[in-house]
Each structure stands twice: as structure tokens, then as C-alpha cells.
Structure 1
């Protein structure tokens, strides 16, 4: 009888896991993979997979009267905070200026929070962990490679704001705009770089990873994103280099390996330049060079806008710097007027419209949380974010596979670097409430903490028994 029950339960569990994998893959591919129901609504495959998975879990809860959560104890405060955040979002609807915006934003929050939490819930073994990493790698590889085709043909996907703009040389891949794609690449790049020297995988797989890294770098530069190219990329590279002595065994840090790293870096630069020469039009090259080359002017424009030194000052890098600075200062003004409780779910844009701004999205994830939800939610979010970074570093800094497995050390280090990069990268997308790469990154971090700290605890218990 028990054997028959197990035979029924195991296939069901596998089906649920498959739904989880599909949900994650479709989440990253976004609106490009779906069916348009109305001009204003698209039934994405992510939403279908999300609702199916939620329905199955609810049925299981009703049938079995419980859901196994004992493995989630290390991340219980994240579950608690996310629950509080969602409830706060619902309560904030009582004081929002625009109810439609508030409900829409709360619905997005209600989907993204479970997306992040689904990672530690479903990734209970290293086998599942490896499987989801392979799926993420495959999906991100498609996202990173498509811009080459997009640059040559100027064929944009339905999710792009340039979809019907025939001949537009901008690259957006599966995202709405260039900044979203650029931020996705700076989230991906740390995983590709660390995989090359942390993971003990076959050479042919390292060649594949390296190839995707080259395409990711091309996609990043092709976007012309100043923030991600001039600030986030150097930050993650410096963080990676600084972490090497603490995450790699001393005997592996040899002149030979350093030389190989330098050669591979130089080769990547040559390959990215070669792809750019072939794939990018002269118009695209000129636009990218002008945008990235104006980074210094952008900083000057931000500094002037922030200090209001010269009312007759003429922006040297376009309107973006002034607009973003004004959005941030207005955000602080709205926060004060809301008595630091926040203007309510998704209502930053509604308040910005009263100022008559051309752009109303605040373009800063940290300010988005602060202005929408107030000081309490923001402080808790940042505290847990920093705590995650610290815990991931503790896992990554164990150099021995006998303490923490190689796969988990890789995941911890890559996520650690990506989360640090996102401090600046999060200031690029117009909004991050439905920016799935960020939520998936958060989820991977939680899953690595659960599995990694479990291994550390087992090692400590084993050492205690031996010393007893």
C-alpha cells in the first residue's frame, strides 16, 4: 500500500517541479512568450505557469492539510517580511491617489514575491539546484545571443518598445528597453565569470560558458547603457578580483592561471569588438560611442542638477541626468508628505504626474520601495538584503569542497557579486517591481543560503562528534 502511494506521489512531485522550471524560464522570457487577449492585456506563459503551480500547491495543502517547510527555517525571516510587505501593500491601497495603479502594482508584488520564495521552497537538493542553474543558463544564453541577430536585422521582439519601429538600431532582446537588457547582463556576467574558475567542469562546457560571456558583454555594450557599462561592470569586475584570495585556494593562484585570465580577458575584448564590427551599423556604433563617451558629462549634469548651482546650465549628456535627479528629489518630497509611510503601492508615478514630468517612472529600485512603501518597509528590505550578502559571503569564502560543495560556493559567490552590482544596476530600469531577473537572483540567493548553511551545520555537527 505504501509503495503504491509513493508511486503516485513521486510522479506528482515531478510534475510540480516541471511547472516550477517552466515558470522560471517563462518569467525571464517575459511578455514575448504569451498570447495577446486584448490590446492592453497579454496572457503570458509565465502567468499561466504561475497560476497552475499556485493551484496545484493549494490543492495539495487542502488535501494533505500541510506543506513541508522545515527546510526553510534559515530563510524564515524573508518569508515573514515578504508576507508583511504584501499585507502592507494591500493596506496602503486605503490612501493611494490612484487605485488602479495601486491594485496593479500590488498584483505584480503578489506574483514576484512568490517567484523569489519558490526557489528555496523547490530547491531542496543539489540535484534540483543544478537543474535550475542549467535552465537559467540556457534561458539567459538565448537572451544574450539574440541581440546579435537583432542588431543585424533590426527585428525586435513583441516585448520591445521598438517592436513596430522598423529599422531602429536599438537592442532590447526579450525586454522592453535597453536598460532592462543591460541590467540583466550585469546580473548574468558574474555567474559566467565565476563558473570559469570555480567550477570543475569539462573544457567543452567552459568554452560554451565563455562564448555566452562574450555574447553577454556584446549585448551589454550594444545597449549603450552608461550606468551598467561604466559603473556596474567595473564594480562587479573589481569585486570578483578582490574576492579571489578569499574564495580560491592559494595553490591555484599561480602565474600560469593569472596569465590565462589575462589572455582570456584580452580575447574577450577582441571577440566583442569583432562582433560589434560585423553586427552593429554605423548609426548604432556612433550612438553607443556618444552615449558611453558622455559618462563624465552625465556625472557633471547630475552634480549640477543636485546642487542647483546654475539655472542657466546647459546639459551636456541630454535630459536623462536632470530628469532622474528631479525624480529622486521629488520622491523624497512625496515621502515627507506621506509622513514617511509611503505614497502607497505603485503611486509614485501618480504623484509624479502632478509635477508635470515627461518621465514619471522613478528609475531607481531603492527609491521605488522607499517612496511607495515608506521607511519601515525600506529599512527592513535593505537589512535583509545586506544580511543575504553577508551570509552568501560566509558560504563562498569556504575554499574547501569538504566544507561546502563546489556548486554552492559558486552560486554563493556569483550571487554575492551580482547583488553588489545591483546596488547600482537597480538604478537603471524604469521599474523593478516586475523585473524578473532581479527576483530570480534574489530567489537563487535564498536557495543557496538554505543548502549552504545546511552543509555548514552538518560539518560543524560532525566535527563536534569527532571532538567529543
Structure 2
């Protein structure tokens, strides 16, 4: 074998592959710039990122992509192009992730980890297939396609979480990322409360008398629902772990979450908080082995009631504005329903209209995404087309079959996590299971807050964490040291 050495005077050879990609980037970027300067920058940036990541192992790249995509999903339209508001970073990332996954499989590789979560993934797939089938009788095919697209994108994110973070080390990393994201989202809400500083996407931006908190979610109800989905993951820290730092973090975070929730004025999510605490009290009160933790749960619940209830009445340590206190007046809601005015009357009308549409369709629904279309066409249009009730929205769109599939999926996640929370030898898995099951319990009512949650990222991340818990439990064979519950070196096989 002979090796030809480069002479001292010869010029260095430029690697051909980067040169080819540079020429492609210049060509495509130049062409895109003709259409719009920003489009050219985006194209060049994407090609540059693809070139830099080409040597990263695919599984590691998948973990990074899922992490970034989950954060982008929570940020929503705040990470959109100013010139094209409908192009969110999340939508670009989830499409890129799906294309990458398909390409990975076509190359002959195998994506593992589906075994323990075959049932929930199968139910989600069945719901999506039924949604596609429902387009055969949907009045508005475009609306149906849009709804199915949202279902597919968000469902893919939920499934990607247990696949990407299926061992203990990666699961802990993802929880830390979600914790940091929660802290940032919470900080934005307190900037709103204290200084009136709001993101451009907030519906309260520019209103001088606005007092609510919306953070990155645009409106109070969506933010409130995110808080009640997250709350059990904070409350479970002092109830499961012995580490003083984790207990302090959980109590401090839960307290801030409850304060922020009060500034949303969301009655549905205040009720969800009640369900969350009732679930925790029943859970620990019915287990003789955990009577000590039951006492802790009672103390935490009492402190939370002492924080929330007086504030709702206009007193206590959290000084709510009078307009916010009025939002928590449940007698006002009843009066609105009786008088046919206000949001209470609108929601009551939507409930009756939705049930009527299910009945008139013979129980098969009006077709994916067509609930809003049908409500707008009613003779007595209530003025709002969104169902403002996720359970009702699924039932109206997909009928009793689609609603039944969704209920089975929901119950499977809840019951499996409850069982795991009592039987798993790993405190991390028990923590995830208890928090996940409690979050699902609260979301039964919390889901009535947003106008729609088909593309509501916190719900789908909650589902993803539930499936992740099931996968981790299936892989757990022994117990890590109790004094080190976040020991990342204890990995599942």
C-alpha cells in the first residue's frame, strides 16, 4: 500500500461534502430570498443545521429533537415568524421530526420501546383512524383535515416522549427540562401580575385595566389549565420523596402555581384543584402503609385552602383585584345561566347544542373538526363556535365511537398509573405515576376551561408522561437508593 503525501507547496483540499452542501444552501437560500428575505435566512439556517447534525447519532438526535419540540409546543405562537404567524417553531419541528423518523425506518432501522405502551398508542391510532373515516360524512372537509392534522401532530408528540426518554437518565433529564420551562412560564406570568408586562400574543396586551395572567398561552383559561396539569407534579414531590430540597421545591412551586392560578379567574380550574387534593387525600388515606404521608397531604391541602379560599373572597395574603374576585363568584355563574346572559349562558347553550348535534347525527358525530361549522350554522347561534368542553368536542366531532375510544385511552392511563404508584419499587416511577394519575383526575374538569384543546400542548405532554411512566415501570426491576431518588445512574435495562 502506498500513501501519497501532500507536498509542502500544494494547496489544502477542501472537503467535497461540505462544499456541495454550501452550494446547495447558497442556491436554495438565494432562490428563497427572491420570494422573501426572511425565507432565505430560514432555508440557509435549516441546511446549516442539517449539515452540523449529520454526524450526530440518530437516537441521540431524536432525544434532542423531542426535547426542543416539547418546549416549542408549550411556547406555541410566541415562536412564530412575524410575517407568517401560522408558522410556529413547533409545527416546523414536529414535521421535521416525523420526516426524520420515517426516513430512519426506511433505512432499515427499528424504533423500539412500543411494547409496554402498545395499548395507549393503539387507542390513539384508532382515534385518528376513526377521525379520518369520519371525513366521509363531514360537511367541511377542510375543517376536518385541519383537525386531523392537529390530532396527528399532537399525538405524535405524546408518543415521542416515552420513546425518546424511555430510560431513567433521560426521563430525569426531560423532567428537569419541563421544570425549567415551567419556571420560565411562571416568571412571565408574575411579570404580568406585578408590572403589567405582557407578550404580544396575550389577549390582554395593550389593555390598561387588564389584571389577569396569561403567560405564553394567550388567554387566562389556557394558562390556568396548564397550571392545574402541572400542579400534581409539584405536590407529589414532598409526598413521595424524603429529600428536603425536593420537598421545598415542590411546596414552593405549588404555592406559586396557586397564586398564579388565582390571577386567571378560571372557575373550572379552581374546581380542578379541589379534585386534585381530594384525589391525593383519598389515595393516601386508603393505604395503611402511607399514613404518615396522609398527614403530610392533609397539611399541604389545608395550607392550600388557606391560601386560595380567602383570596377568592377578596381577603387573605393574596390581594386580588375586585374584578378578579367577581370571576370566582359561582352564584353569578348560576344567575347568568338563569338570565341567559354572560359566559355562563353561552356555555350552557353550547352544551345543549352539542348534545343536540350528537343526537341528530345518530351518535356518529358530525365529522372531525366540524363541530364549530355546525354550531355556526344554527339558527340560534350562541355567538361562540368552540365547544369550550373537550369531552363534548370529541363527542360532537367523532360521535360516541370516537368518544368511547378517547375515554378508554384516558382510563387506561389513569388506572395503570394508579396501580404503578402503589407497586413500583422505584420512587421516581411512583412519583411520576402518582402525579400523572392525579393530573388526569383534575383535567376531567380542567379541560372545560379552554375553548378547545385539540392543539393544547400541556394535555398531550401529560399523556406522553403517562405513557413514559408505563414504559419505565415495565423496565424497572430493582429499587435505587431511597436517599438518591434522582440517581440517573440507575438505568432500566
Q: So what's the TM-score if we normalise by structure 2? A: 0.78
Determine which of 339, 356, 365 is the counterpart of 2:390.
365
2:166 is aligned with 1:124: yes
SS in 1 for 2:82: strand
Cα deviation digits, residues 287-306 of structure 1 (max 9, x gap): 111111x213424655xxxx
Q: Structure 2 CA distance, aligned partners of 1:421 and 1:350?
A: 29
Q: Which residue of 1 aligns with 2:111?
A: 68
Cα deviation digits, residues 50-92 of structure 1 (max 9, x gap): 12222221221111x24233x3222212222222222222232
Question: In the TM superposition, what is the alpha-carbon distance from 1:210 to its structure 2 partner?
Answer: 2.7
Q: Which residue of 2 aligns with 1:465?
A: none
Determine which of 179, 187, 195 is the counterpart of 2:221.
179
Determine which of 307, 323, 344 is the counterpart of 1:287.
323
Q: Structure 1 CA distance, aligned partners of 2:350 and 2:309?
A: 39
Determine which of 346, 354, 367 is the counterpart of 2:377.
354
Q: Structure 2 CA distance, aligned partners of 1:327 and 1:269?
A: 30
Q: Are the aligned partners of 2:127 and 2:405 in contact in 1 as well (CA < 8 Å)?
A: no
Determine which of 112, 115, 124 is the counterpart of 2:154.
112
Written as runs of structure 1 = structure 2, the 5 A alignment for 1:296-315 is 296-299=331-334, 302=337, 313-314=338-339
Written as runs of structure 1 = structure 2, the 5 A alignment for 1:403-442 is 403-442=424-463
Q: Which residue of 2 aligns with 1:305?
A: none
SS in 2 for 1:102: helix
Q: Are the aligned partners of 1:27 and 1:46 in contact in 2 as well (CA < 8 Å)?
A: yes
Classify 1:79/1:262 alpha carbon distance in 2 versus 1 (closer, same or farther; 3 Å): closer
Cα deviation digits, residues 265-319 of structure 1 (max 9, x gap): 588669989xx99997xxx611111111x213424655xxxxxxxxxx535xx52
Determine which of 120, 127, 144 is the counterpart of 1:78.
120
Question: In the TM superposition, what is the alpha-carbon distance from 1:205 to its structure 2 partner?
Answer: 4.2
Q: Are the aligned partners of 1:148 and 1:279 in contact in 2 as well (CA < 8 Å)?
A: no
Q: Which residue of 1 aligns with 2:90?
A: 46
Classify 1:79/1:270 alpha carbon distance in 2 versus 1 (closer, same or farther; 3 Å): closer
Written as runs of structure 1 = structure 2, the 5 A alignment for 1:62-461 is 62-63=106-107, 65-69=108-112, 71-201=113-243, 203-229=244-270, 231-245=271-285, 249-250=289-290, 252-253=292-293, 261=300, 265=304, 285-292=321-328, 294-299=329-334, 302=337, 313-314=338-339, 318-355=341-378, 356-398=381-423, 403-455=424-476
Gaps of 5+ in 1: 1-7, 303-312, 460-468
Q: Structure 2 CA distance, aligned partners of 1:212 and 1:132?
A: 18
* Equivalent residues, number: 422
Cα deviation digits, residues 101-156 of structure 1 (max 9, x gap): 22221211110110111112112201111111111111122222322110223232
SS in 1 for 2:81: strand
Q: Structure 1 CA distance, aligned partners of 2:474 and 2:288?
A: 19
Q: Are the aligned partners of 2:429 and 2:473 in contact in 1 as well (CA < 8 Å)?
A: yes
User: Per residue, is there more helix in 1 or in 2?
Assistant: 1
Q: Structure 2 CA distance, aligned partners of 1:278 and 1:35?
A: 41
Q: Are the aligned partners of 1:37 and 1:43 in contact in 2 as well (CA < 8 Å)?
A: no
Cα deviation digits, residues 167-210 of structure 1 (max 9, x gap): 52222111121111111111111110111221233x34433333
Gaps of 5+ in 2: 1-53, 480-493
Q: Structure 2 CA distance, aligned partners of 1:208 and 1:419?
A: 22
SS in 1 for 2:425: coil
Q: Which residue of 2 aligns with 1:24?
A: 70
Q: So what's the TM-score if we normalise by structure 1? A: 0.82
Q: Structure 2 CA distance, aligned partners of 1:254 and 1:321?
A: 37
